[in-house]
Amino acid sequence: MAIPLIDAPVPDSVRATAPKLKRNGKSAKDPAVVILTTIVCAILLLIIGFPLYGLLTSAFAPKGLEVLARMVTDPVNHRIIANTLLLGLIVGTTGTLVGFLFAYAQVKVKFRGKRALHLLAMIPIVAPPFAVATAVITLFGRNGAITNGIFGWQADIYGLPGLTIVLSLSFFPVAYMNIRGMLESLDPSLDEAAAGLGASKLRVFFTVTIPMLVPGLAGSFLLLFVESIADLANPLVLGGDYTVLASRAYLAVTGEFNMQAGAAYSLTLMLPALLVFLVQRYWVSRKSVVSITGKPAGATEQISAPSIRIPVLVIVGFLAALIVSIYATVLAGGFLKVPGVNNELTLAHYQFVLAGLGSKAMVDTTILALIAAPIAGLLGMLIGWLVVRKLKRASGLIDFIGMLGLAIPGTVLGIGYLITYNKPVNIFGLQVFPALAGGSAILAGAVAIVMVYIARSLPSGQRAAVSALQQIHPAIEEASTSLGADSATTFRKVTLPLIQSALLTGLTFAFARSMTTLSPIVFLTTPGIKIMTSQILAEVDSGRFGNAFAYCTVLIGIVLLVILLLNVIIRKVVFRGQSHRR
């Protein structure tokens, strides 16, 4: 299932002829815009603003300050911070490298099976966080099917080595898509120009291709850095003694019941994440020299020289085989009694997940994700539209807050929710709404989970909407206004149909991300609501890998099925007869 990540394609006929044309005086007095902006701000405040505020006040409460002080003084904490940053640096580097190799092979190297390789690189996006970790333990752990079963080792993959492998393989698709997009839009005439000036292929690669890619590589590194320091699932399963800030914060909240300490650890984790996000957003993106013209940059010359082709293909092939074996293990593991140890076939795990005690998690998660996805998708489109077209000064701020759901580690967000919404929210002594998270919350905390889903999955749709809108000439919307439509009507009847690809991207990612997110969720599940990812964590914790694999497979299946249905529905029903594709 190919998922468009960055740019939703826009038909040529609506491409802006002058996208740099900045309209300064957007008409401001439109009541619809004022109302929509107010709604968006209120939602952003609820899903991101309040929880962050709650976290900050908690971290700076006396008990939290104590922990924060110990961040500076206590060597144990130094170790944890160092571990976290080291993990981010290593995974950022290896993940970017893997992503680059896949992208380079895909765009530049001649071989058969490109589509298969592309799909393979996309799988991790729809897979839940434990799939890779659990499979790696089963294959390469102490009693691993390969390490012990074939080679007879007692391999210790817990700690940094295991985390590096698992996180790199889980997160590299982001780098892959980023770098692939850049490689594809590199104008081949630049290579030709360099070659025409007498540069050898290798020289062209190092003096033209790589420098052009530096912003893309740096951006990918930073994104992977943030993702890996924020990850909670894998350090919990694979970390062993290697404690990072995310797992430390989790322990503080769930093991020590010390909310303020959890908040303090989270805050420490948030600082580098936010810093890197800011650098990525305001520095790296500005350094980009690759211009996306929207015109196909001409046929890229495919490299067939063995000196480049063979090493690239060997490494990529090895990694691809690794990924295949990992997901094959996930798929097969669900049918084995004790995967890797007792390989008798059984349907018990699937029965547990689909029909037994575990099925509630499947139903609950899917329903909540189905509620969150359309809200997040539409909200993303709306924010994109307001930011690109309607707002002047506030646009940067709203765009930034919308993107925070991606920049703030899930652990941080989860703890923030727990602190803020575990009791009724009062403003000036008036109860505005009841408790949304925790044991006593309404609907068993489902509201908070949906909110956190929206916060986490909003940014991808928002990004897609912004880049799609920047390619659509503003005159098309002005024409609608000139013909008597107000802003809301224009958005519904003109803008939304034109950015339907971006909407599809937004919905797809919102659903996939909601289904697979764990780090904020572990703090928010209650006995009344079961979420698949946190159930998987429980199963892995108690060593029932078979159940975990069955959950993972079912989860991947649901995500793929819903994405497929979304494609069909959006393309065939919602904008029926309005297709503008050639």
Among 331, 348, 443, 476, the residue binding another protein under the rule CB under 8 A is 476
Among 3, 6, 11, 60, the residue binding another protein under the rule CB under 8 A is 11
Q: Stretches 57-65, 292-300, 406-414, 493-501: which one binds another protein (CB under 8 A)?
A: 493-501
Nearest-approach distance from CB 386 to another protein, in angstroms: 17
Q: Comparing C-alpha atoms, which of 423, 386, 383 is closest to residue 404?
A: 383
Nearest-approach distance from CB 25 to another protein, in angstroms: 4
- Round the CA-based radius of gyration of the chain to a whole number and report it: 24
Q: Does 14 bind another protein (CB under 8 A)?
A: yes
Q: Does 478 bind another protein (CB under 8 A)?
A: yes
Q: Stretches 155-163, 363-371, 486-494, 503-511: which one binds another protein (CB under 8 A)?
A: 486-494
CA 104 to chain CA mean position, Å: 22
Can you tell me which residue has the tokens 């494609």? Answer: 567
Which residues neighbour 378 within 8 Å (Cβ) at sequence distance 6 or greater? 503
* Binding positions for another protein, 30-69, rule CB under 8 A: 30
* Size of residue set near another protein by CB under 8 A: 34
Q: Find the helix packing angle between 259-279 and 410-421, rounded to 10°.
A: 130
DSSP-based three-state secondary structure for 529: strand
Neighbours of 14 (CB within 10 A): 14
Report yes or no: 525 and 448 within 8 Å, Cβ to Cβ. Answer: no
* DSSP label at residue 526: B
CA–CA separation, 215 and 225 (whole Å): 15
Q: Does 17 bind another protein (CB under 8 A)?
A: yes
Among 133, 253, 415, 498, the residue binding another protein under the rule CB under 8 A is 498
Nearest-approach distance from CB 388 to another protein, in angstroms: 16
User: Distances in Å between the alpha carbon of 467 and those of 282, 392, 554?
Assistant: 16, 17, 33
Q: Does 573 bind another protein (CB under 8 A)?
A: no
Q: Does 484 bind another protein (CB under 8 A)?
A: yes
Q: Stretches 58-66, 266-274, 490-498, 541-549: which one binds another protein (CB under 8 A)?
A: 490-498
What are phi and psi for residue 432, nearest 5 degrees? Answer: -85, -50
Q: Stretches 25-33, 88-96, 265-273, 557-565: which one binds another protein (CB under 8 A)?
A: 25-33
Neighbours of 155 (CB within 10 A): 17
Among 281, 309, 473, 571, the residue binding another protein under the rule CB under 8 A is 473
* Binding positions for another protein, 237-266, rule CB under 8 A: none
Q: Does 542 bind another protein (CB under 8 A)?
A: no
- Residue 135 has, within 13 A of its CA and on its CB side, a CA count of 30
Among 443, 481, 560, 570, the residue binding another protein under the rule CB under 8 A is 481
CA–CA separation, 104 and 532 (whole Å): 35
* Binding positions for another protein, 155-194, rule CB under 8 A: none
Q: Choose between 28 and 367: whose C-beta lies nearer to another protein.
A: 28
Residue 359: exposure state from Cβ atoms within 10 A (0-12, 13-18, ≥19): middle
Nearest-approach distance from CB 232 to another protein, in angstroms: 43
- Output the six-digit token pair for 511: 């659903």
Among 12, 192, 256, 541, the residue binding another protein under the rule CB under 8 A is 12
Q: Stretches 158-166, 273-281, 482-490, 566-574: which one binds another protein (CB under 8 A)?
A: 482-490
Nearest-approach distance from CB 552 to another protein, in angstroms: 39
Q: Does 579 bind another protein (CB under 8 A)?
A: yes
Neighbours of 489 (CB within 10 A): 14
Neighbours of 482 (CB within 10 A): 9
* DSSP label at residue 445: G
Among 150, 275, 483, 568, the residue binding another protein under the rule CB under 8 A is 483
Q: Does 13 bind another protein (CB under 8 A)?
A: yes
Q: Does 576 bind another protein (CB under 8 A)?
A: no
Q: Choose between 114 and 580: whose C-beta lies nearer to another protein.
A: 580
Q: Does 89 bind another protein (CB under 8 A)?
A: no
Q: Comparing C-alpha atoms, which of 83, 273, 238 is closest to residue 166?
A: 238
Which residues neighbour 500 within 8 Å (Cβ) at sequence distance 6 or greater? 570, 571, 574, 575
Nearest-approach distance from CB 27 to another protein, in angstroms: 6
Q: Does 392 bind another protein (CB under 8 A)?
A: no
Report yes or no: 472 and 10 within 8 Å, Cβ to Cβ. Answer: yes
Beta bridge partners of residue 342, listed in sequence order? 338
Nearest-approach distance from CB 465 to another protein, in angstroms: 16
Q: Comparing C-alpha atoms, which of 572, 559, 552, 579 is closest to residue 130?
A: 552
Residues forming the site for another protein (CB under 8 A): 11-14, 17, 23-25, 27-30, 473, 475-476, 478-486, 489, 493-494, 497-498, 575, 578-580, 582
